[in-house]
Amino acid sequence: MYENRNTARPPTTIETRNLGKRYGDMWALRHLDLEVEAGTVLGLLGHNGAGKTTTIRLLTTLSTPSEGSAFVAGHDVVTAAPRVRADIGVAAQAATVDGLLTGRANLELIGRLYRIPVPEARKRAGDLLERFGIADAADRLVKEYSGGMRRRLDLAASLIADPPVIFLDEPTTGLDPAARRELWNVLGELVAGGTTILLTTQYLDEADALADTIVVLDHGRAIASGTPSELKTTIGGERLEIVVENAGQLAPAIEAVSSFADGKPEPDEAGRRLIVPLRERVRLVDVVRALDAQGVEAVDVQRREATLDDVFLMVTGSRPVEDDPEEVAA
């Protein structure tokens, strides 16, 4: 049921205890404990199949837990599913707007499904079309939209009812850099107004920029959590990034820099890149000399601070994972 939420909102949270989902003998998610404060952003990270989409499906009442409990906006996702659905907005990985309606008609229809009065639904639709840069295409059929435009319309649809809790599953996939940055601005405004957001993303710079707290999932379990700064601090300070002429030179490059490393180097054969956690007081000139002594043709050598990419590689590794059952096409 639609309510005017222009007044101060009550505290809203996302909370799970021992949450799990099983398919046959396989657990897609197990023992997940979350507590998300109102007006904050939780970033869920993990390889494809780690359990991110399963988590969102459980919290948005699209799937039922096999164990544990979950509350969204104060409502149990099992026993009070209709109330949960009334208080959330969702943008899934694939756009769900109707291609046979115009962009404006899509948003107005969704507003009416939330029982928003017609004049208010029209106003909100117009405001969101402007906000996401698709007002010029508002009266065209959505099937004529580009992929990025459909994605922006889908995100606008998740906001039509001004929900206190929003779930965004890889929301900026398919957006150009300008649209992506604009979405970041929109999400910042929402959070400043008290909205709670759960976000999954493959862009770790996005999680670093937006998330107050991050949880890393791997094989359906949470394996790391904390603020972006806390997570980066746990893996140390500077990193050395080396790009070599060809992948065959990664092994001698590892040998050359081993005396400078404060941990295991992470090679990337596809990118011909080597990431090395550095000991203190390492001089870049000494690294270059060591590489030259091993006959390594280094295209680029630079030092930098640790990033969430480094955290992700450290805690999950680079091994392949099985597909999450709910992420496999039927």
Condensed to tens digits (0 to 9), the pLDDT of residues 256-296 reads: 998 988 888 888 888 898 988 888 888 889 999 999 999 99
CA distances for 93 relative to 109, 160, 177, angstroms:
21, 18, 18
State the Cα–Cα distance between residues 3 and 124, nearest whole angstrom.
Answer: 14
User: What's the gap between Cα 213 and its chain centre?
Assistant: 12
- With 50 as the cut, is the pLDDT of residue 297 above it? yes
What pLDDT does 82 receive?
Answer: 94
Q: What is the pLDDT of residues 34-53, one digit of tens each?
A: 999 999 999 999 988 899 99
What pLDDT does 11 receive?
Answer: 60
User: 253-273 as b/e, with b when 16 or more CB fall inside 10 Å?
Assistant: bbebbeebeeeebbbeeeebb
* DSSP assignments along 160-180, one per residue: TT--SEEEEESTTTT--HHHH
Instruction: Kindly provide the residue ranges of all beta strands, DSSP E only, lying in the chain, ordered along the sequence.
Output: 14-23, 26-36, 41-45, 67-72, 75-76, 88-91, 165-169, 196-200, 213-218, 221-226, 238-244, 266-268, 273-277, 298-305
Q: How much is the pTM?
A: 0.77
- The residue-averaged pLDDT of 109-118 equals 92
State the Cα–Cα distance between residues 73 and 60, nearest whole angstrom.
Answer: 11
- With 50 as the cut, is the pLDDT of residue 328 above it? no
State the Cα–Cα distance between residues 220 and 27, nearest whole angstrom.
Answer: 7
- With 50 as the cut, is the pLDDT of residue 2 above it? no
What domains, with CATH codes, occur in the chain?
14-225 (3.40.50.300), 237-305 (3.30.70.100)
What pLDDT does 143 receive?
Answer: 93
